[in-house]
């Protein structure tokens, strides 16, 4: 995280006429073609996570909502792909305004990217700003796509599109600036690849959205079993592979730091999966595929903020702890009765908190401010992510409810998103009885 923060500072400097000495310091570095190639590969792999997420979510919903659910992820690729270039990057990595949000008109529409370079992770060479911008753009895309799982099977598609555009501008980009882009937590809270910015913020938004929209029709009364766990497992596999780039790419280079992040990612994911299998076997008697992939995801989320700063033992413990904690969170959800359809808060939010707070106890290097101060910094990061995302998500949803409407009508929800919203069907013909698939 500190490496990323220093590099982000360099990004702002290179295009600025107010800091010629620092800019020329980066200019004098040789072009690091290896790091540039690595960042482009990581960008592609992180983008591949979005179709992976679509598959993961698509297999978990009822078959009448498969395409509609997958469309949420692909719509984010389209809409946020545009928003990031137009204004999101400027808000996240522009000159800091009171430590809360960035702003630089030169960065609108990526206006200064052609002439901008940033230092690689080791400060031994430079890479094009485009490589960093594209990589960070993938993070901006996948975050609102994650949120969609919380209110799956009941939100209007046009309203969802408006929501993710507003959320990306008002929530994601400011949080990215606060933690990574020179804001008031940059250099304090450790967050390599998005424990706070992505997973906690998405989890909080998902929880607010699920409660505000209300439960699906027939929730806890009708069967709402996953339609295709094979699809879900394949999606989880894509996510696991892409997560290596998610974390290792955040080191902005292909040296030791990237290798450490990659290895810690693998260990946490494996530990999370193994732990959930043990829980399933001990409590239900049968290890389940859904439990396995839930453990994988919990471990991956937990290691996201920590992959650059903890060692192997820490990665294994964080992955296991995340599975135990997330399993407990899902049991609490069942008791409380709110309908977070695909457990966005229970996995992403909870595991993000476990990783962001727990990493302090497994750091490779002693924090320069001391353990308890660093724990306070991590707590601030968690609280800021939860508060900003929760409050602004609710505000956006209230506005959209009164302007566009949020939920599908009861008749439409019974028919399913695929047919009503998109005029398509994921699996061809419906049942001969004429009833829509459960």
pLDDT one-digit tens code per residue, 299-358: 999 999 999 999 999 999 999 999 999 999 999 999 999 999 999 999 999 999 999 999
How far is the C-alpha of 123 from the C-alpha of 129, rounded, in Å? 14
pLDDT digits (tens, 9 = 90+) for 178-213: 999 999 999 999 999 999 999 999 999 999 999 999
Instruction: Say what the pLDDT of residue 428 is.
Output: 74
Q: Give the Cβ contact number of residue 422 at 10 Å.
A: 14
Which residues partner with 127 through β-bridges?
118
Q: Do 344 and 149 contact (CB within 8 A), yes or no?
A: yes
Q: What percent of the chain has pLDDT over 70?
A: 92
How confident is the prediction for the chain on average, in pLDDT?
92
d(CA 63, CA 206): 22
**416: Cβ contacts below 8 Å, ≥ 6 apart:** 62, 64, 65, 68, 436, 437
pLDDT band for position 18 (cuts 50, 70, 90): very low
pLDDT of residue 4: 56
Please compute the mean of the pLDDT values over residues 219-235 and round it to a whole number.
95
Helix (H) or strand (E) holding 271: helix 256-284
Q: Hey, CA dihedral for 185, 186, 187, 189, is it positive or negative?
A: positive
- Average pLDDT (85-100) is 97
What span, in angstroms and rounded, lies between the C-alpha atoms of 178 and 185?
6
Q: What is the three-class DSSP state of 101?
A: strand
Q: Residue 156 carries which DSSP code?
A: -
Q: Per-residue pLDDT for 134 more than 90?
A: yes
Query: What SS3 state is found at 407?
Result: strand
- Tell me the whole-structure pTM to 2 decimals: 0.93
| Maximum CA extent, the chain | 74
Percent of the chain residues past pLDDT 90, beyond the cut: 89
Q: Is the pLDDT of residue 272 over 50?
A: yes
Taking the C-alpha atoms of residue 390 and residue 210, their distance in angstroms, rounded to an integer, is: 12
Q: How far is the C-alpha of 248 from the C-alpha of 244, rounded, in Å?
A: 6
Domain boundaries 2-413, corresponding CATH code: 1.10.3430.10
DSSP per-residue codes, 22-85: HHHHHHTSPB-HHHHHHHHHHHHHHHHHHHHHHHHHHHHS-GGGHHHHHHHHHHHHHHHHHHII
Domain assignments of the chain as residue spans, ordered by start: 2-413
Strand-pair partners of 221? none
Residue 19 has pLDDT above 50, yes or no: no
Question: How far apart, in Å, do the first and last CA atoms of the chain sit?
Answer: 45
The average pLDDT across 47-52 equals 98
């Amino acid at each position: 995280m500190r490496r990323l923060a220093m590099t982000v500072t360099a990004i702002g400097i290179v295009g600025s006429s107010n800091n010629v000495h620092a800019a020329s310091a980066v200019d004098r570095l040789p072009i690091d073609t290896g790091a540039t190639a690595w960042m482009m590969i990581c960008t592609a792999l992180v983008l591949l996570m979005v179709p992976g997420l679509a598959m993961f979510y698509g297999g978990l919903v009822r078959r009448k909502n498969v395409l509609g659910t997958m469309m949420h992820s692909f719509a984010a690729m389209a809409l946020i792909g545009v928003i990031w270039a137009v204004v999101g990057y400027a808000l996240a990595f522009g000159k800091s305004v009171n430590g809360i949000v960035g702003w630089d008109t030169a960065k609108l529409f990526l206006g200064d990217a052609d002439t901008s370079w940033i230092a690689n992770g080791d400060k031994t060479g430079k890479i094009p700003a485009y490589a960093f911008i594209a990589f960070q753009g993938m993070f901006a895309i996948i975050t609102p796509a994650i949120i969609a799982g919380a209110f799956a099977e009941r939100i209007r598609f046009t309203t969802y599109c408006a929501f993710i555009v507003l959320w990306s501008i008002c929530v994601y980009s400011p949080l990215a600036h606060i933690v990574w882009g020179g804001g008031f937590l940059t250099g304090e809270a450790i967050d390599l690849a998005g424990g706070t910015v992505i997973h906690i913020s998405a989890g909080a938004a998902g929880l607010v959205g699920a409660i505000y929209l209300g439960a699906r029709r027939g929730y806890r009364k009708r069967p709402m079993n996953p339609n295709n766990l094979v699809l879900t497992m394949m999606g989880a596999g894509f996510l696991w592979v892409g997560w290596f780039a998610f974390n290792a790419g955040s080191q902005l280079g292909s040296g030791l730091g990237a290798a450490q992040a990659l290895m810690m990612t693998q260990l946490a994911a494996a530990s999370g999966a193994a732990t959930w299998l043990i829980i399933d076997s001990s409590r239900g008697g049968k290890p389940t595929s859904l439990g396995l992939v839930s453990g994988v995801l919990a471990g991956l989320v937990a290691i996201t903020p920590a992959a650059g700063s903890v060692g192997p033992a820490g990665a294994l413990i964080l992955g296991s702890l995340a599975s135990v904690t997330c399993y407990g969170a899902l049991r609490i959800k069942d008791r409380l009765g709110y309908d977070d359809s695909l457990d966005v808060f229970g996995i992403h939010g909870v595991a993000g908190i476990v990783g962001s707070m727990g990493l302090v106890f497994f750091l490779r290097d002693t924090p320069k401010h001391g353990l308890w101060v660093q724990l306070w910094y991590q707590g601030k990061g968690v609280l800021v992510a939860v508060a900003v995302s929760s409050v602004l998500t609710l505000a956006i949803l209230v506005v959209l409810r009164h302007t566009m409407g949020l939920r599908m009508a009861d008749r439409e929800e019974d028919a399913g998103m695929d047919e009503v919203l998109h005029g398509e069907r994921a699996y061809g013909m419906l049942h001969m009885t004429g009833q829509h698939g459960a």
